[in-house]
């Protein structure tokens, strides 16, 4: 018998990160995912959800300040990376003048040349560099550095 089940997850409206608690990314009901995410410092503001890296909480007032929206070129790059790495985690690190987008490249030692060229063309003048880093267990990460 085939049945249909609906699952719920929370994705950060600023960076696009999907909430995970180490075991789960999706829950059977909306209240469970929200409860678990809020225990991990996720917050909601004006109907949008933000991970712990995309906002700060003012201790005296308990109000949150959401960090500035990601630029369009970064959002476009994140969408492309999510499609080509199919479910592997992608992280964005924000620095004063640039972003670093880091993701695993388990199945291959590097991106295809056409994918690297697409990224460079997509980012244009924002492109800084594309580097590979060997991590634990000989897996590789790709790090794309882009200006703000």
Question: Half-sphere exposure of residue 78, counting CA atoms within 13 Å on the CB side?
Answer: 21
Interval 91-130: pLDDT, tens: 899 899 999 999 888 656 788 899 999 999 999 999 999 9
pTM: 0.72
Does pLDDT of 146 surpass 90? yes
Whole-number Å distance between alpha carbons of 48 and 138: 38
Whole-number Å distance between alpha carbons of 42 and 101: 21
Partner residues linked to 18 by β-bridges: 11
Q: Which domains does the chain have, with CATH numbers?
A: 1-67 (no CATH), 72-147 (3.30.980)
Interval 15-48: pLDDT, tens: 888 888 877 788 888 888 889 898 888 999 899 9
């Amino acid at each position: 018998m085939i049945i249909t089940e609906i699952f719920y997850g929370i994705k950060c409206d600023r960076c696009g990160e999907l909430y995970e608690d180490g075991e789960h990314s999706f829950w059977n009901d909306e209240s469970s995912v929200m409860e678990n995410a809020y225990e991990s410092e996720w917050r909601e503001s004006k109907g949008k959800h933000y991970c712990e890296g995309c906002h700060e909480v003012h201790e005296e007032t308990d109000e949150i300040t959401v960090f500035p929206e990601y630029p369009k070129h970064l959002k476009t790059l994140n969408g492309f990376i999510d499609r080509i790495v199919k479910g592997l985690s992608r992280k964005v690190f924000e620095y004063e003048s640039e972003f670093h987008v880091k993701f695993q490249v388990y199945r291959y030692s590097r991106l295809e040349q056409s994918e690297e060229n697409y990224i460079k063309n997509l980012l244009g003048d924002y492109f800084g560099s594309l580097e590979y880093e060997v991590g634990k267990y000989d897996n590789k990460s790709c790090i794309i550095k882009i200006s703000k």
